[in-house]
Structure 1
Amino acid sequence: MNKKPVILLNIDSLMSKPLEVAVQTGRAPALAFLKEKGIYLSDVVSSFPTMSVTIDSSLLTGTYADEHHIPGLNWFDTTKKEVVNYGTGFRETWRLGTRRSIHNMLYRLNHEHLSPNVSTIHEDLANQGIPSASINSFVYRGNTAQKLKVPKLLTTLTYFQDGEWIAEAPQTFSLGAFSRIKPWNFTAKIAAGNYKYVSRELRHLIRKDKLPAFTFCIYQDLDLRIHYKGPMDLKGISRIDKQIQKIFNLYSSWDEALERNIWLVMGDNGHAPMHVDTKKALIDLRKTFNKYQISKLERPIHRKDQLVFCVNQRMAYIYVLDQRITMTTLVERLKKDNRIDVIAWKEEEWIRVESGVKPGSLHYRRSEEMKDEFGQTWKVRGELELLDLKLNKDGTLTYNDFPDALARLYGVLNSQSGRFIVVNSKPGHEFKSQLTPTHLGGAAHGSLHKQESNVPMIIAGTAEKPIYPRIVDLKEFIMRIVS
């Protein structure tokens, strides 16, 4: 293999505007260097919902949720009649069962929920005899059996025998306190590594000349800051940039770092600022459907339960267990709330969309009738304005407020079995159910809206680019420049 190693730095919740401000004001010299030397894409389309596990699954498999089957951070498995939560917030996961949530995140996500019908970058490279590394990613599936161990103090919070389990992971694998590359590396976080830990792991690989062909690193710290400080917080970007500077300083010059490696830096989702007022900001689904029997987190699904709510911040799934309840009855109730801008559900092979903001209805399905800006083909009927679609003179469809909306909605509505509705809130609002964490006065994500769906990407060290500026197209791009 004569190609340069590819290093992908995924900075959770990095957004274009604050990145550009940080670069322009000298707060991010390393990112400024890469941006100046490379290709800058300001509007790369994320996956949906805009939650990390779904996004990373799309990045690593090159598919949307209809194929990879990870429909969010919080969803309902209709076959097993259980809520699958990967860790949305302490109160919610505690009520659902901490052991179950931890097991979902550490094991079931990769070994049961991520579809066996898709393959990850790590698996495809391993099949070609090409090594790869994963640092700090909860979506990690590879071809190498790795023994992971839970710290002794936490063994009672897991289902693993003696706190150990075998994970199918890449050859080089790091995940906080559970698996380290650098001996004695310390992390302040248990479930994952903080930004300093991640950088130490990557620096260790560079110092020991053990960089594989592809290394995937995730910096998670920025997301938490933005949730509570708002989208324009620059301190988190500056802190991570200082760690990237330390990585570059391992080389004789920053130019040498670029000559020897391909560097990709990206965000995974954006954030929408939240209103401060509780009544204005929060859409409480329990109040919307107070006449129905709603399942409770602390107990298994009861035979009398009619609805299950799974909230992913600014989007939510409403599962309909009672076959006597029609979808249109629930939709009419949702349409009375003008804070809900997209309401979508399946009708046989069609996707149907309505709104609490705009009148009318939209129907669409896969077909060869018309093509969108990403080369996907559809049959569309009804009010295009519901998804802010534009039909151009040449017959192509383009997107505005909801990037790649047709494919991304199609993905989540075909990601799982059962009867359910997808709801999307206007910026400034988020959904609430029993013990759902909220972000008043801060920022939140999860929705289809461009504020959360468009993210930046820097490509340095190669002139190659993705076919389309979408996270779902990055797998093909990475495989092209690696193998």
Structure 2
Amino acid sequence: MNNNTQWRKPVILLNIDSLMPEPLERAVQTGKAPALQFLMENGNYISNMVSSFPTMSVTIDSTLLTGTYADKHHIPGLNWFDHSRKEIINYGTGFRETFRLGLKRTSHNMLYRLNNEQLSSEVSTIYEDLADMGIPSASINSFVYRGNTPTRMHVPRLLSTLTRFEDGEWTTKGTSIFSLGVFSKLRTRSFPTQIAAGNYKYTARELRYLIRKNKLPGFTFCIFQDMDTRIHFKGPTDIKVITKIDQEIQKTLNLYPSWQEALNQNIWMVIGDNGHSATGTNYRKYIIDLRKILKNFRIARLERPVQKKDQLVLCVNQRMAYIYVLNDNLTLSAIAEQLKNDQRIDIIAWKEKDSVHVVSGMKKGTLSYCPNGEYTDMYKQTWRIEGNPELLDLHVKEDKEVLYGNYPDALARVYSALHSHSGRFIVVNAKPGCDFKAQSTPFHLSGAAHGSLHKQESLVPLVIAGTRSRPTYPRFVDMKSFILKEIQQ
């Protein structure tokens, strides 16, 4: 079924947005996910893969596809401030916020600038590396898609007024096989039920098309996005969408003479991108309005360009936020002291010179650290650490080995966020149950949210079948090298 003369076995990576270990295991144990159960029982199951930070889709996918954290790939989150252009970069956080920022601007950022301008040219994606080896790849339903192939994207006439592509077409750098909603389709007569991407059925049909037509490339990356929206409203224990996606995976495996033959011919990987933290029900108790905490400062408004008199810009990524300090007369430590008054903020971090500084609204003391010191963590990264390690829930052993608690790979991930783009800014992290809010920001009472450093949102499952290998470390940042090795073996 596969004409794979240039690589050992095609790798198919299925990214199920918001797939978490406990709901997955419950769906399997109750017989509601037989395809996932088959892959788990006939392969490796890792329940604690560490995502990137913030735990937002574009940052996570950029880390997975480049093998670097945000300090190298330069996609800081779903919502951030470009200091050089003095503009907020938003990839679609919610209708009200997007509307105030401008639909054209947001769609242009997501569809074009993310891949062609903002994703750092200093790093390469797995697609680009494979192309250099002469190995084709496919991207289905992913907004992070940068490859080496000039690709014509088409905007339907009814949507052209919502984009900056009034001529209806533009050229981007994509993968050799590329599918993204109405903008680029593998099956010409198909029509996705979601404009910007495809729902789980559409994504699976695009994948099955490649298998039926014997067109599977060396690497195929598919994203199933549907579960994220449902969990925001239903909470993190919901398994209904897992069952539906599993049915599509069953149909895909059924294209082969047997499910075992599907493993013989391909390497199958199923991964979540981020977890969710259940949110509380009381607005005053669980929604952290940064405008109220920082009401004594002039905060930039979304619907107008940043003014000279503006002192702060707020960019919320659900349970994490960037606070940009534009006024040089304001110190970051002074803003941090103001934030410390709210006990719902568990981590407040900023950089000064070569060091990261951390305080908290929940715990006393300070912590400062930087790379290349006498302490070594479980990923063989070395650090110089001074102050109270409890602020990042670090467990320091007598031999100076660092273990992580509630915040997996915290030192590297906080460092990466603070070095992901230029400007003077503070990173804040909400304690579980709480959600940040600024002007027109969507929030998620009585549901679930993500974005933070906490293990509830940072640890996700990975299933690998068709090979006995596994990544060096259970982290997204190690996935690219693992996949490349599997393709080339």
Instruction: Decide: shared fold, TM above 0.5.
Output: yes
Deviations 1:370-418 (A, max 9, x none): 2110111110011010000011233210101000000000001001111
Which residue of 360, 364, 367 corresponds with 1:359? 364
Q: AA paired with 1:352?
A: H
1:274 aligns with 2:279: yes
Q: Does 1:55 align with 2:63?
A: no
Aligned partner letter, 1:116: S
Structure 2 equivalent of residue 181 of structure 1: 186
SS of the aligned residue for 2:481 comes to helix
**Match of 1:410, as an amino acid?**
Y
Correspondences of 1:23-422 after superposition (within 5 Å)? 23-422=28-427
CA separation in 1, counterparts of 2:189 and 2:172?
A: 21
What is the deviation of 1:161? 3.7
- The worse-fitting range, judged by mean Cα deviation, of 432-441 and 362-371 is 362-371
* Structure 2 letter corresponding to 1:406: L
Secondary structure of 2:375's counterpart equals strand
Counterpart of 1:414, as a letter, is H
Paired AA for residue 242 in structure 1? Q
Contact 2:7 2:487 in 1 (8 A): no
Shift of 1:162: 1.1
Corresponding residue SS for 2:48: strand
- Asked whether the equivalents of residues 350 and 427 of structure 2 are also in contact (C-alpha less than 8 Å), the reply is yes
Give me the whole-angstrom Cα distance separating, in 2, the residues matched to 1:330 and 1:171: 47
3-state SS of 1:13 partner: coil
Q: Does residue 1:5 correspond to 2:10, yes or no?
A: yes
Report the Cα offset of residue 67 of structure 1. 0.3
Aligned AA (2:258): S
Contact 2:270–2:463 under 8 Å retained in 1: yes
**Local SS of the residue matching 1:162:** coil
2-structure distance, mates of 1:80, 1:262:
43
Does the 8 Å contact 2:7/2:218 carry over to 1? no
Q: Deviations over 1:319-359 (max 9, x none)?
A: 00011111121111111111000000001100000000000
What 5-or-longer segments of structure 1 have no aligned partner?
none
Structure 2 runs not aligned, ≥5 long:
1-5
CA RMSD of aligned residues (A): 0.7
Q: Please, which of 22, 40, 64 is the counterpart of residue 17 of structure 1?
A: 22
What is the rounded CA distance, in whole Å, between the counterparts of 1:326 and 1:62 in structure 2?
Answer: 34
Q: Are 2:453 and 1:448 aligned?
A: yes
Q: CA deviation at 1:2?
A: 4.4
SS class of match (1:294): coil
- CA-CA distance at 1:151 after TM superposition: 1.3
Decide whether the 8 Å contact of 2:289 with 2:436 is kept in 1: yes
Secondary structure in 1 aligned to 2:93? coil
Deviations along 1:40-63, one digit per CA (max 9) or x if unpaired, are 000000000000000000000000
Question: In the TM superposition, what whole-angstrom CA distance separates every residue of 1:70-94 from its partner, at most 9, and x where no partner exists?
Answer: 0000000001000000000000000
Aligned residue in 1 for 2:3: none
Q: SS at the partner of 1:472?
A: helix
In structure 2, how many angstroms separate the alpha carbons of the residues matched to 1:392 and 1:24? 37
User: Does the 8 A contact of 2:407 with 2:454 survive in 1?
Assistant: yes
Tell me which amino acid in the other structure corresponds to 1:75. Answer: W
1:467 matched to which residue of 2? Answer: 472
Structure 1 letter corresponding to 2:66: T
Judge conservation of contact 1:176–1:190 (CA < 8 Å) in 2.
yes
CA separation of 1:2 and 1:70: change in aligned 2, threshold 3 A: closer
TM-score normalised by the chain length of structure 1: 0.99
Residues 109-149 of structure 1: per-residue CA shift (max 9 Å, x gap): 00010000000000000001011000000000000011010
CA contact (8 A) 1:185 1:200 kept: no
CA distance in 1, matches of 2:375, 2:346: 25
